[in-house]
Structure formats: C-alpha cells, structure tokens
Structure 1
C-alpha cells in the first residue's frame, strides 16, 4: 500500500486504538493539541468530531488502529494519521459517498470527516489496510 509522506510539524502524541475507551483518549488528545495552538472552539469541535468518526472506523472496520498526532505551529495546524491493517476499502468513491455504510451506521462517517477537516486524504488497499490523514487549522 502506498504510504502518505511524513506528517508536518512535530509529534504531539501517539495512541493505539484497541478498545472503545482508546477512542475517547485519542479524541481528548486532538482537543489538547488544538488548545495548544489556541484554536477557536468551533474549529476544535469540527476536528474532534471528524477524528471521532475516523478512529471509530479504525477500531470497528480495521480491527484497531495507530493514531499519530502532530502540531505544526508555523501553519497553526493539527495533523492526524490513523492507520489500520484491516481489510481495506475496495470502492473508495462509494465509501466516501453519503448514505453508504458497510455496517449499521448512517453512512456519513468518511464523507462527514472529510467535510469537517481542512485537509483530508485516504489511501487503502484491500487486504492490507487503510491510512487516513486529516488536519484542522486552529
């Protein structure tokens, strides 16, 4: 699977998501990273909402995930990578479309996270896994 280039900025924190409680902790870390950049509340809320969807997908569909959070003080951006080694996404266009779900959800996860983020990129390979990168400007 093609990997995205190195994240900009410096490492803020790294998390492994293996249970539901890990999603909560990783979300809090993203919030703290936005606070460190003195983000406006609405900007912080948008990014935390977006990563919630991505982290949950990593746990449910990827069987767990590794989350890396970077702060780029120069650009006032928080960057997040979420990688899993799950089954991957066969049809990316379909997966990003509103209403599509491979589970029992509303089908707004990936597309909604993309809309809530200032930067969003996803790479996936069936049988190998998925990497989602998103960022929010403070």
Structure 2
C-alpha cells in the first residue's frame, strides 16, 4: 500500500465501509487482531462523528513510516460546524448525542498518537496513528 485510501462519509453505510477499509489495511500491514479491532473501533467513532455532527466528510487511511517504525494513520476530515469546546469534548463521559461519551477520548486511548484541529464553521480534522509493535 503506497498512497492513502479514502472513504467519503455521507450515510451510515459509509461508516461500515470506512471500518472495513481500516481493518483490511491494518491486516495488510501486519497488525494483530486486537490492534485491528482497536483501529476499526477508532475509525467507527470518527466516521460516526462526521455523519452525526458534520453531515459529510471523509476518512482516509494511510501507511506511515517514521524513525524506522511502521504504522497506520487515520485522518478524519469534515467541513462541518467545528468543535466549539475542544477541552469539553475530550472529557470522558461528555456527549452531545446522548451516547456514552466514549467518543474522542476513546479514540485517543485506542490509538498511539492523536491530534485534533477544529475551527468554528470551518470543520474538523483529526489524525490518529497506531504503530506496529
């Protein structure tokens, strides 16, 4: 796998497609079943957030190499309303959709690296990386 693969998120079915792509790429890169599950769970959460809060966006999955390490990078991007209070959404238990609130803090725990950029009315981009052990 050389270049990134992306799934546009417009419907609930696209969440399933993004999960499947993530699992396939993780498997291809040599991740074990536990890390494959962590990666697909993170992708599912990110794609669901795009669907629920932005209406549309995309999930891109890319192989990364850094300092002799190999990993998988997930980029979730949308042009939605943005996140007004990043500190609040990163608190465990916070939910605006009536869900469990495991959302973004859960993604941060499941992956090895997590970066969130968001601006009101300009959208959100989240990058998360899982390194091969």
Same fold (TM over 0.5): yes
Asked whether 1:50 is paired with 2:17, we answer no
TM-score, length of structure 2 as denominator length: 0.91
The equivalent residue for 1:17 is 9
Q: 2:87 aligns with which of 93, 99, 119?
A: 93
Q: 2:69 aligns with which of 71, 75, 78?
A: 75
The equivalent residue for 1:65 is 57
1:82 is paired with a residue of what secondary structure? strand
Unaligned runs of 5+ in 2: none
Q: 2:105 aligns with which of 105, 111, 118?
A: 111
Once the two structures are TM-superposed, the CA of residue 126 in structure 1 deviates from its matched residue by: 1.0
Which of structure 1's runs of 4+ aligned residues deviate more than 6 A? none
1:110 is paired with a residue of what secondary structure? helix
Looking at structure 1, the residues matched to 23 and 96 of structure 2 have their Cα atoms a distance apart, in angstroms, of: 28
The equivalent residue for 2:23 is 31
TM-score, length of structure 1 as denominator length: 0.88
Looking at structure 1, the residues matched to 118 and 29 of structure 2 have their Cα atoms a distance apart, in angstroms, of: 30
The equivalent residue for 2:121 is 127
Higher RCO by CA contacts (8 Å cutoff, separation 6 or greater): 1
Unaligned runs of 5+ in 1: 1-8
Once the two structures are TM-superposed, the CA of residue 76 in structure 1 deviates from its matched residue by: 2.1
Looking at structure 2, the residues matched to 75 and 65 of structure 1 have their Cα atoms a distance apart, in angstroms, of: 29
Q: Is the Cα–Cα contact under 8 Å of residues 10 and 72 in structure 1 kept in the other structure?
A: no
Once the two structures are TM-superposed, the CA of residue 72 in structure 1 deviates from its matched residue by: 2.5
1:76 is paired with a residue of what secondary structure? strand
